[in-house]
Amino acid sequence: MSPAADRPLLEIERLEVEFDTRRGVVRGLRGVDLSIGRGETLAIVGESGSGKSVTAQAVMGLIDVPGRIVGGDVRWKGHSLLSRSRARQARDIRGKEIALVFQDPMTSLNPLIRVGQQISEVLRRHLGMTRADADLRVLDLLEAVGIPAPPRRAKQYPHELSGGMRQRVMIAMAIACEPELLIADEPTTALDVTIQAQVLELIAGLQETLGLSVLLITHDLGVVAGLCDRVAVMYAGQIVETGSAEDVFERPAHPYTQGLIRSTPRLDDHMERLVSIDGAPPSLLAPPPGCAFYERCPIAEARCATLPPLIPIPNRTAGSVACWRATTNAWDSASVPPGELRAV
Amino acid sequence: MGRFILRRLGQGFLVVLGVSLVVFVAMRVFGDPAKVMLPLSATTEQRAEFEHLIGLDRPLPEQFVTFIGELATLDFGDSLWQRRPAMEVVFERLPNTLMLVGAGLGFAMIMALPLGALAALRPGGIIDRVTVIGGLVGLSTPQFWLGLLLIMLFAVQLRILPTSGIGGVSHLILPALTLALPSMARMVLLVRSQVIDELNQQYVKTARAKGLRFHQVLFGHALRNVMIPFITLAGWEVISALAGYTVVVESVFAWPGLGHTAIQAIQRNDLFLLQAIVFTVAIAIVLVNILLDVIYKFIDPRIKLA
C-alpha cells in the first residue's frame, strides 16, 4: 500500500470548540482526537451534551455563532477543512465527498421544496449536472434508498412523506454524489423502532455497496453493536475510550464505559429495575481540571484529579483509554454502592 | 384552483352583503338621513317629501330589499355635493388611490426584502443596528406629520417636488413615500427577524451541509420560507392602506383619491357618496384577501385549498 492510501480519510486533531452563552463560555469539545480510514465504520457514543454532534458539525463546517472552533484541526485526505484560505475547497468537499444525515428528518428538509428537487440540487451543485440529468439521477437514488414509486415521490413535498421516508430522502441526498464518508448524526433517534432497523440496514447496505466510510453518532449502544467496526466513547467533551466494537462492549476499560453498558437494559436480563450512573456530567462552563468522570467514578482516587491522557491499551489493537486506573470492572470492585437504583 | 376562487368569491359576496346590512342599519335605523342631508332650515313638509323621494317612509324590510337591489346595479344614488351619480365619482377617484397604494406599498415591499435580509445576515452588526433603529423610528412616526415634514423639506426648502395635488410622477413621489415609510419599517423588521429565524432552522443546516453556496442557501431555501409571513404582512398593509392610511395621506397631499373624497363626503354630509366609497373599499378588501390566498397556495404546498 502506498503511504497515501495508508493515511486516514478524516483526521480530527486536538479539536476544541467553545460556545458563548449568557452564563459564560461552554467548552463543548476539549481536545478531541479521531481518525477514520477508508471503508471504516466508526461510532461515537456518549450521552446528550457529551460533544458527539458538535464533532460532526465541526467537520461539516456548521459551527456558528455563538459557537466557534478555538483549537485543533480537521483534515480531509491531509488537507485542513478549517483554514480560511481553503474555505472554498472545503465547501466543494462538503456534500460531495463528505455527507451528513441529520437526526430529525421532520425538520431537516425544506418544507416548501419538492424532495426530488432537494436531492437534485446537490447533484447540480457538485457534479454540474443539468436539471434534466439530475432529475433522472434522483429517481435512481430514490430507488437505491428503497423508496417505492420514485417518479411520484420525487414530486412530493416533505409533509407528504412519513418520517422513515423522509430519512430515506435525507440518505439519498447524502449519497447523491457518492461520498467517501457518510456522517450519520443519530439517524434513527426520531424514528419508530421498526423503522429504525430498516434505516440502519439501509446504511449498512450502502456502506457495503458503495464502500463508504461511516461515522455514526448515537447514544444507542444497540445500534452501534450491529453496524460498527470501531467505537469511540465521549464524555464531557472528550474521548475517554476507543477500540474495536467487540473490545469496547465485551471488555470496556473505562469506568464510564462500563457504567454505560451496565445501564443498558437487556432482554435476557430479568432485572426489574434499571441501573443508572449516579450523578450528572460536570458543567462544561467550568470543567474540572482532572478526569471529568471523577465525581461519579466508583474507583476515583487522588491522582484522578489530574487529567489522564488517552493512552493505548496493551493487548488491544487500535484501542485506548483515558483513565489512571483502567480495570476490567470498576463497579463490582467498588466499595461504595455503584450507582443509584431506581424504579422503572 | 378555479373552483377555489369561485368559492372564495361566493364567500366574499356574503361578506359584502354583511357590510351592506351594517351600513343599512347604521344609516336608516340608527341614523336619520333626512336630518343629516337636509339643511337645518328645512320644513317638515320638505323633510317628508325628501323621505318619500328616497323611500324612507316604507317599511324597513322593503327598504332593505330596494337597497340591495340598488347595490347590485351599483346605483348608490346621486352625490349631493357633486350632483352626479356617486359611483361616477368613485370610479373617477379610485384609480388615483390604487396608483398611490401601488406605488407606495410596491416600493415598500421591494425595499423591505433586501434591507431586512441584509440586516439579518449579521445580527447585532452595524447594518442590523441601523436598520432596527430606523425601523422603530419609521413605525412610530405619525403619517400626517411625516407627510408635512417631507413637504417642508422637498417642496418648501429644496423646491424640487410639488407640495400637493395630482399631476406627473413628481406629484406622486411625496405621498407615495409618506404612505410607504411606516409600512416599509414594519416589513423590514419582520423580514429581518424571520430571516434570522429561518437561518437557524435545521433545513438550512442541511442545505449548508450539502455544500450549497451561501446565496443558494439564502435565496433558494431561507427566503422562500420568509415569504409566507411576509405576504401576510404585505396583505395587511395593503388592506390597512385602502381602509385607512390613504385617508390621512391623501388629505395631507390633497390627492384626489377615495380617502380624501371620503373625508370631503363626511364634511358635506354626502351620505350616498360615503356609502359608495365604503362599498368599494369593502369589495377591494375582499378581493385582496382572495388574491392573498391564491399567492399562499403558490408559495406553500402544505396549504390545502378548499
In order, the DSSP letters of A252-317 are --SHHHHHHHHTS--TT---SSEE--SS-PPPTTS--SS-TTGGG-TT--GGGGSPPP-EEPTTST
Q: In this predicted complex, what is the ipTM?
A: 0.84
Task: Indicate the SS3 state at residue A344.
Answer: coil
Contact between B302 and A170 using a beta-carbon 8 Å cutoff: no
Interface test mutation site (partner B, options A81, A108, A138, A217, max chain B beta carbons within 10 A): A108
How many whole angstroms separate alpha carbon A56 and alpha carbon A63? 9
Q: Per-domain residue ranges for chain A?
A: 3-228, 252-342
Domain A3-228 fold: Rossmann fold (3.40.50)
CA geometry: angle A172, A178, A181, nearest 5 deg: 95
Tens digit of pLDDT per residue, chain B (306 long)?
A: 788 888 889 998 899 889 888 888 887 777 777 777 888 888 888 888 888 887 888 888 888 888 888 888 888 888 888 889 989 999 999 999 999 999 999 999 999 999 999 999 988 899 999 999 999 999 999 999 999 999 999 888 898 888 888 888 888 889 999 999 999 999 999 999 999 999 999 999 999 999 999 899 999 999 999 999 999 999 999 999 998 899 999 999 989 999 999 999 988 888 889 889 988 999 999 999 999 988 988 888 888 765
User: In chain B, which residue's Cα lies nearest the Cα of A91?
Assistant: B211
- Per CB-CB distance under 8 Å, the chain B contacts of A113 are 220-221, 224
Minimal C-alpha gap between A212 and chain B (Å)? 17
Please name the residue that has the C-alpha cell 476539549.
A30
Domains present along chain B, CATH in parentheses: 2-74+83-87 (no CATH), 93-268 (1.10.3720.10)
Beta-strand relationship, A230-235 and A311-312: unpaired
Mean pLDDT of A261-285: 78
- Per CB-CB distance under 8 Å, the chain B contacts of A100 are 206, 209
A100 touches chain B (CB under 8 A): yes
As a dihedral over the C-alpha atoms of residue B140, residue B145, residue B146, residue B152, rounded to 10 degrees, the angle is: -150
Contact between A107 and B213 using a beta-carbon 8 Å cutoff: no
Interface test mutation site (partner A, options B203, B206, B299, max chain A beta carbons within 10 A): B206
Contact between A108 and B205 using a beta-carbon 8 Å cutoff: yes
Among chain B, residues having any CB pair with chain A shorter than 8 Å are 201-203, 205-213, 216, 220-221, 224-225, 299-302
How many whole angstroms separate alpha carbon A47 and alpha carbon A333? 24
Start-to-end Cα distance in chain B: 9
A95 touches chain B (CB under 8 A): yes
Contact between A125 and B216 using a beta-carbon 8 Å cutoff: yes
Interface test mutation site (partner B, options A53, A112, A215, max chain B beta carbons within 10 A): A112
Beta-strand relationship, A67-76 and A79-80: antiparallel
- Per CB-CB distance under 8 Å, the chain A contacts of B211 are 91-96, 122, 125-126
Contact between B203 and A111 using a beta-carbon 8 Å cutoff: yes
